[in-house]
Structures are given as C-alpha cells and as structure tokens.
Structure 1
Amino acid sequence: MKKHSNKFMAILLTTVMLFSCNDYLDFEPENTLPGEEFFVNPEQAEQSIVAIYGYMRAWEMVGFAPMILQEITTDNTVKGSSLGDAAYINDFNFFNYTPDLFVINDYWTGRYRGINLANQALSNIPKITMDESRKARLIAEAKFARALFYFDLVRAFGDISLPTTVENTFEESLLRRPKAEAYALIIQDLKDAIAVLPPQYGPGEIGRATVWSARGLLAKVYLYQEQWDLVLEQTSAIISSGQFGLLEDFYQVFRIENENSVESIFEIQAQAVAGNADLSNSQYSQVQGVRGTNGFGWGFNIPTDDLANAFDAAGDTERKNATLLYKGVTTPDGDRIEGVGENELEGITGLPRYNGKSYVPRKHQIAGVTEGSEQNIRVLRYSEVLLIDAEAKVSKGDVGGAATSLNEVRKRASLSEITSPTLQDIWNERRLELALENDRFFDLVRTGQAPAVLGPLGFVAGKHEVFPIPQRAIDANRETMTQNFGY
C-alpha cells in the first residue's frame, strides 16, 4: 500500500525538483556532466539514483510514446479522443508511420536520457567515499534501471546504440550495436543487480528496485530469448520465495490503495502534490482518462471491440469490467462514467469506453495538478511472472507445471482450469491479463503472431517487427547510423 509520508517519496520529489530546476542531469545523451561539479558526497550519490526513479515517470517514459508504440499498434486499442486530435497517432494504428515522427524520437531519446542518468551514476559513484555496502546497492539500482531502459529500446528498434560509461557516450551514440550485444549487457546488469539488491525495504524506501524486481525482469528478458531453463531459474526463485501473491479482486490491483502490494514486482512511483504541477508530473493516467463530461483526462488509447470480444469469448467478465471502462457504468469507487457521446471517440462506433487500468477515481483527483498523477505505473506484476513461468514450462514439455501457474491467474479471474494448456492458451491469457499495460505489440512480435493478427491493419512481415530509427539520430551521423530495413 502506498505510504504518502514515506522517506523515499519525499527524497524523490525533492530530488526531481532539484534536477528540474538546475538541469544537473537533464541533457542530451552526447553531453556529459563533470563529476567534480556534483558527484562529491554520499548525499549526491543518493540523489543521482533517486533522480533516475523520478525520471521514469517523465512524459517520454509514460506518456504518448509507450502508449502509441506498444498498444495502439495492436488489436487492443485505437487512437480515441476527438476527430483530428493528434491525427498522426492513426499512422501507428495502420503502420503508416515514418522515421521523422516526433513520438518515435521521444521513445528513443527518452530512454537514452534515462540510460545517461544511469551511466552518470555508474561512472561517478564508485569514486565517492561512502559506506561500501550502500555504494554497492546504489550501483545495483542504477544497473537495474539501465537494463529496464535498454530492454525497451532493443525490443522496439533491434540493433541500438550502446553507451555504457560517461567516457564512451559520445562515440557510442553515433553507432548501432547488434541486439545480441544489447541483450548481453542487459543480462549482465541484471545479474549484477541480483547479487546486491535486497529482498525488501523498510517503510522509508518502499518502491525501490529489489532483488525480485531484477529477477522478474531477467526472467522476462530470457523469455524473449527463449532460454527456458534460465527463465525458470528466475521464476522459480520468485514463486518459491513466498513473498508474492495475487490480490483477490482484479479491479483493486490498479487502485492507489493497493500500490506496492503483494502483487507488485516493480512499479514506477508517482504522487500528486497539491499546488505543485511540476512535481505532479506523471501524465500516464491523464492521456488515457475519461474525456468529456465529468472526465478525468484526454481520452486516448481506447479499447477496441476486438479486445472486448476476446474477453467475452473467454467468459472473462471480471477482467473485462476492470479493463474496459464503459460510458454509463458506476465504478466500485462510486464514479459514474459519462464522458462523450456515442461516435465521438475517433475509431470507436457505439458505446464509448476507456482504459480502466489507468482510471483514477475522483476522490484521488487533486485540483491544480495533472489528472491522475497520484497513480503509480505497474511495470511488472506477479501474475505476469506466473504466466512467464507457464510459458517456459509448456515450452519444455512440463504441461502439468504450466497448468499450475496458468490456473492460479485464471482462478483470480473466476475462470475454469485448463488442465493441458498450449502455448496459444498462455498467449491468450497474457492478452487478457496484461491488456493495456503496454506489452501487446512486443508479445505479438516475439511469438510470431504479428503477421496474422496485425496484417489486416497494415503490418508487413520483415519490416514492422521493429520501428524506424528516428530521423534525427540518422541525420546526426549518416556514415555510421543505419536505418532499419524498409524505412
């Protein structure tokens, strides 16, 4: 449960304000910060790590870019909002996007800014005289964050630039390294983090990456590489730890009262500060919130009929009701959803609906700040660990073991057991369990389903598995920065 007085959040907010005002660490990847100007004492080492956590909720990290590239390119959602508003988003729904679109550049540069923050910490913290165990933990947190950012990039673009230190940032930013090298770095960073990070934190530091955060992310990385034994090493450690479980009510998983719950492996911390819009800077909920009468936001990323039909075909009413927020319903928190009229959301005919997972009840809306900025963003949940475990087991022929993990997830959704699950059963379950959590596009690509599922929308096999390298990155060095095929 969120601790509004927790020390970590207080430091995070103060640090974000410090770096926002002075731009100490806010610069393009090719620039560097002279270590002697900032990285001098233990307090500054701590601030540099907390700044990374704070940056995770920046616009480029949780706003349009991930929503558009990872969900609107799929069968799960369409643009929404009003006709013509941000019309370029439709180019992603129908695979007509080009390298010069700013949202592709946002995705690329946003994650490299995060990597630059991590590299600044990793290059400078080792030089600071401070408690060695604390130093090691801060370095491990930076490596976890860098792995998380690089995982987004390698899935989205394939071969990528791979700066790892302050010293090699400029040179590396002009090159593309094979994605195998990126995965090797991600894996090593996570292994290093696992060796150091604690299993949990005290009340004053809830929300920081734990050993379980690193193990969960490493399991997912191995999933993408189909290294099933290595996947199971990580999922088995998490499951057998006894530290995690599923909340009984799926709707409650995404509510503010249940942030950092027993189901949370890692989530991005956010908090609304009354009267301070700069610190209440997460727009994750705002861009997807109910648009119109008594609304909470802009009304983008609207669930499709196809997603609704998938829930119906599975008899999955509980997750459907929590994921699709329809006009006219009254939520368990007492809000009647009004919004706009029928046919007023672009791409949707009939009854308007919104992302129920990003919904922040009116009682948590704070006047004068970004709508929904109180809500944490769930990055990795225990239910996904169970589904990763199930996929690895069925891939190895352990159908019974796969059924155990799969059915734990299905039981919470009040669905019947599947005694002999197939890979398709597990992939279908991932869609329903993780819908609108920015995983669908990458799932379709890695499982080979993208051509069949997305072909009718314009997906071309051999091209659209990755996005184009931003034109700005190409223009920065045409001799060494190559473009992805077909763009």
Structure 2
Amino acid sequence: MRRYNKSYIQRIAGYVIAAGLLTTAAGCGKSFLDVPPQGQQPGEQFWKNQSDATKAVNAMYANLHEWRQVGFATIAIESIGSDDAEKGSTPADASFFNKYDDFSVTATEGQIQDFWKGQYQEINFCNQVLDNVPGISMDENLKARYLAEAKFIRAYAYFRLVRAYGDVPLRLKVPKDASEYNLARTAKAEVWAAIEKDLNDAAGVLPPSYGPTDIGRATKGAVLALHAKVAMYQKKWSDVLNFSNQVMAMGYSLFPNYEKLFRIPNENSSESVFEIQCQRIPGNADASNSQYSQIQGVRGIVGGGWGFNVPTPDLVNAYEPGDPRKEGTIIFRGTTTAEGDAIPAIGDNPMYNYKSYVPFGLFVAGYNEGADQNFRVLRYADVLLMNAEAANELGNSSQALQSLNAVRKRARGSNPNILPDVTATDQATLRKAIWQERRVELAMENDRFFDVIRQGRGAEVFGPKGFQAGRNELWPVPQTEIDISGGKLTQNPGY
C-alpha cells in the first residue's frame, strides 16, 4: 500500500525564504513553484525557534522538485546531449532542445541559465539553514541532523553544477550585502574539495534510516553513495571503493522487478538510496509536485504528457538480446504497458521514457500525472556498478565481477538463457563491460552524458552528433551571469 508520509517536505509553511541567484544580484523568474504565500511570516520574526528551523529545512527539500531542478533545464543539461535521448514531442515544440542534441547551444539559451539558477537557488536554501540554525536554541541532536541534511543537499547541488560547467562560483555563506554578491569562478578542484567536506561532515551525523514520518530525508547511505560518485568523477578509485563498500554493508538490496521499481507504489524501496519526494496535495496543484513525469509522459491521451526526452534508436540497439531492461526503460508506440495501458499506435514519437511513466489509471483531474512520482537520484544498482568500476581500476577483478554480475542477475530474473554472468578478468575488457552495464542499467536517469565525458570518450561516442573535443565536455556559463558580473565571471572555452 502506498504510504502518504511525504507532506513534510511538500509544504513551505507560511513563510518565504529569499532565493536569489547568489553569484549576482539577479532575481529568479516565475516557475510553477512560485505561488502567493499564505500567512507569510515576516523575515525579522524568523529563525527564532525549532519550528522555524524545521520550516526552513522542509523548504530546502521542497525546492528540490522545483521546475529548474527537474524540468526542462535538467533534461537539456543532463540528458539530451547523450546518445540515449533526443528531444521528442512535436518538431516545432521547444525546438531549443535540438541545440543540446547537436551541441550548437550558445550561452544565451534559456535552459543554460535556468539550470544555473536552479542549483544556486537550492544552495541558497541550504546556506540559510547552515548560517542561521546554529544560533537557534533547540534540540541539539535535531539541530546537528538538520545541518547535516543541508550539507548533503548543498553537496548534491554543487555536484550537478561542477560536472555541467566545470569551475563555478563557490558560495558557502549567505551574502551579507551587495558587495558579496559577485563572485568569480572557483577552480573545480576547490569545488570538489568543498563537496567532499560537506559529505564528510554529513556522514558523521546522519542516521542510516528514519521512521515512517521522515522517509525521504537524506541518510548516511545517501551521503556515502553521493561521495562515491563524487570520487568516481575525480578518478579517486580507492575512495569510490571505500564509500561504495560501506553502502553495500548497510542493508540495501536490488528490487526484484526492474520495471516495477520505477512505479509509484514501489518508491523508497529497498533499492532506493535517495529520492526527491513528490506528492499530490489536494488544493495545492502547483507547488506540491514535480512536472518531471508530465514533461516526458505519453502524448495523445487524455490528461497525458508532453512527450519530451524520448529514447533513441541507438539506445534500443544497446541492449543484449532478451534484456528485460529494454522493455522496462522504453515504451514503444502501439504497445500495451505492463500496467495495461494501450499506447497510441500513431503520433509524433515512436518511443517514450518508461521510467518516468505514470499508469493512466493514476491520473487525477486538475493535477499533472507526475504529481505523485518521485525523482530517483541515487539507487543501489548505481552503487554496485560504481563498486565494480573502482574494483576493476584497482586490479580486483573478482570483486568487480561480483558487483557487476549482481546487477545482471537482477535483470535476468528467472530466465537463465539471457544476460549470462560476465567472466572477463582482463582490465580493459572488464572496464568496457562495466561501462556498457551502466548504460543499459541507468538509461534515461541523467547519467549517460556525464559518464561518457568522464570516461574520456566524448568525441568517440558523441562526435556524430556534433560534439567537439575541448569544448563540449562542459556547457557554457550563462551569458546573463557574465554580463551581470561585469565580466568577473568568465566563459568556458569555445563558447
């Protein structure tokens, strides 16, 4: 039975935390989360007690499903550039996505700006908690936990920024006045170090799990898994192995059915390490949910989605014969889903993202179909594959094979005739097998583009799409931010 226990992070209860851009004095545009506050609490009366601290932390979590966090900007920056996804929808609708697909995007395109804004807005929520909660008289254990949660989420936001843009301004405090708004870009090595410090601090405080009323908050497992990923991007293989080994000892397990893993009733399952929580709240159609699934939902049905971010034929061909993950990742036009929904046989898109799909029977009039659909950030299969990659890079093929084949075993299920165990022990051969497994296991989950980049294969894999080595490893810094900074911010090479 579905547990409706997530509303604590869906309500920004009666007050507003200012969420400016932080690197400059620019404001934020309107989004689906920008709703008129009811019973707004004056700022000068805030940050007084434990209730205020709780409201601030809840707002920090609620902002994670805001439009700039999981909407068009996320799809543009974290998905469309890969060989797994393309624009979708109708040819004329949101044609700017094509610029990300063929790498012709410039620094003035709106999603470049929105992704930047979204992450710094989230960082500002975190910084306000970290600056103000220490001075509140409240339960000290809860205070420590709130601060650790803020450090984890700040680390997550900076992780998204640094892999997208490289050097970015490092803002670890709320600016006191206008003189502190304008920061130059910080070398990415220093940004990575700040992320690691936040994660080290949080890991020493956060619990491995919570009771039912706090499901969705950051746990120690989430911190360690993100730290493993941060280390992987820096090729710190001993750290990747260490952190992933710790997560593997914490009781997570692979959910038996790959396709069902992504359905609403199985959110926060044994495989979930961190999910952004979304829930339909009656009377709060705008601010209570994410539009991530609506953006990618099946077009041409009553109450359906917009059909963006669709799988490519290249992804279809990437799966081994009989791999159930293909049918668990891709909805093909003219088929019937496992949940019994008939997909129109004609339309603009031959395929849709099954992982963001919501069964038609769960649509609620007046709400988008993704109102109750969580956004998966970290799951245990990713941890196992990070562990496999690190073990292989460190010369431990036995452990690498064990972790890799655990993922394949879940996908294989009860069919012994598909997805045989990988047996190669040659490091280069096994490395390719792990990379391939990451592609098919994590397809359409916003990792493929950055995986290929960190592997040094951008030109090889994305060259036919227009990728240029020395330029397209990073997205451009928003021109608006450079202009507002008076040139203090600089542009990435080639833009």
Cα shift at 1:147: 0.1
In structure 1, what is the equivalent of residue 38 of structure 2? none
- In the comparison of the two structures, how many residue pairs are matched? 469
In structure 1, what is the equivalent of residue 8 of structure 2? 11
Q: Which amino acid aligns with 1:246?
A: L
Q: Does 1:181 align with 2:185?
A: no
After superposition, where does 1:36-115 map in structure 2 within 5 Å?
A: 36-115=44-123
CA distance in 1, matches of 2:408, 2:237: 22
Cα shift at 1:168: 6.3
In structure 1, what is the equivalent of residue 362 of structure 2? 364
Q: Which amino acid aligns with 1:127?
A: G
Cα shift at 1:233: 1.3
Compared CA separation, residues 132 and 293, structure 1 to 2 (3 A)? closer
Compared CA separation, residues 309 and 116, structure 1 to 2 (3 A)? same
Q: Which amino acid aligns with 2:407?
A: V
CA distance in 1, matches of 2:282, 2:335: 29
Q: Does 1:418 align with 2:418?
A: no
Q: Which amino acid aligns with 2:248?
A: I
Contact 1:291 1:339 in 2 (8 A): no
Q: Which amino acid aligns with 1:353?
A: M
* Per-residue Cα deviation, 1:53-99 (whole angstroms, up to 9, x for no partner): 10000000001111111111111111110121111111110000000
* Per-residue Cα deviation, 1:186-218 (whole angstroms, up to 9, x for no partner): 000000000000111011111100000000000
Q: Does 1:296 align with 2:289?
A: no
Choose which of 120, 124, 127 in structure 2 pairs with 1:119. 127
Compared CA separation, residues 468 and 418, structure 1 to 2 (3 A)? same
Contact 1:232 1:389 in 2 (8 A): yes
Q: Does 1:321 align with 2:327?
A: yes
Compared CA separation, residues 435 and 199, structure 1 to 2 (3 A)? same
User: What's the secondary structure of 2:189's corresponding residue?
Assistant: helix
357-366 or 115-124, which moves further after superposition?
Answer: 357-366
Q: Does 1:465 align with 2:461?
A: no
* Per-residue Cα deviation, 1:260-296 (whole angstroms, up to 9, x for no partner): 0100000000011234312333100000000113462
Q: Does 1:335 align with 2:344?
A: no
Q: Which amino acid aligns with 1:357?
A: K
CA distance in 1, matches of 2:287, 2:486: 38
Cα shift at 1:28: 3.4
User: What's the secondary structure of 1:187's corresponding residue?
Assistant: helix
Contact 2:453 2:473 in 1 (8 A): yes
Cα shift at 1:379: 0.2
Flag structure 2 segments of 5+ consecutive residues without an equivalent.
28-40, 413-418
User: What's the secondary structure of 1:310's corresponding residue?
Assistant: coil
In structure 1, what is the equivalent of residue 244 of structure 2? 235
Q: Which amino acid aligns with 1:188?
A: K
CA distance in 2, matches of 1:218, 1:384: 12
* Per-residue Cα deviation, 1:93-115 (whole angstroms, up to 9, x for no partner): 00000000110000001000000
User: What's the secondary structure of 1:291's corresponding residue?
Assistant: coil
In structure 2, what is the equivalent of residue 348 of structure 1? none
In structure 2, what is the equivalent of residue 400 of structure 1? 398
After superposition, where does 1:184-199 map in structure 2 within 5 Å?
A: 184-199=193-208
CA distance in 2, matches of 1:26, 1:366: 31
CA distance in 2, matches of 1:234, 1:299: 37
Per the normalisation by structure 2, the TM-score is 0.92
Contact 1:308 1:320 in 2 (8 A): yes
Choose which of 264, 268, 272 in structure 2 pairs with 1:256. 264
After superposition, where does 1:440-455 map in structure 2 within 5 Å?
A: 440-455=448-463
In structure 2, what is the equivalent of residue 429 of structure 1? 437
User: What's the secondary structure of 2:10's corresponding residue?
Assistant: helix
Choose which of 163, 171, 180 in structure 1 pairs with 2:171. 163
Q: Which amino acid aligns with 1:404?
A: Q
Contact 1:269 1:377 in 2 (8 A): yes
Cα shift at 1:173: 4.2
CA distance in 1, matches of 2:168, 2:177: 13
Contact 1:159 1:176 in 2 (8 A): yes
Choose which of 366, 370, 375 in structure 1 pairs with 2:373. 375
Cα shift at 1:172: 5.9
Cα shift at 1:339: 6.6
CA distance in 2, matches of 1:427, 1:358: 23
Contact 1:207 1:266 in 2 (8 A): yes
In structure 2, what is the equivalent of residue 28 of structure 1? 21
CA distance in 2, matches of 1:51, 1:358: 24
CA distance in 2, matches of 1:270, 1:169: 35
Q: Which amino acid aligns with 1:425?
A: A
Cα shift at 1:246: 0.6
Cα shift at 1:316: 4.5
Contact 1:274 1:368 in 2 (8 A): no
Q: Which amino acid aligns with 2:329?
A: T
Flag structure 1 segments of 5+ consecutive residues without an equivalent.
346-351
Contact 2:298 2:304 in 1 (8 A): yes
Root-mean-square deviation (CA), in Å?
Answer: 1.8
Cα shift at 1:329: 1.6
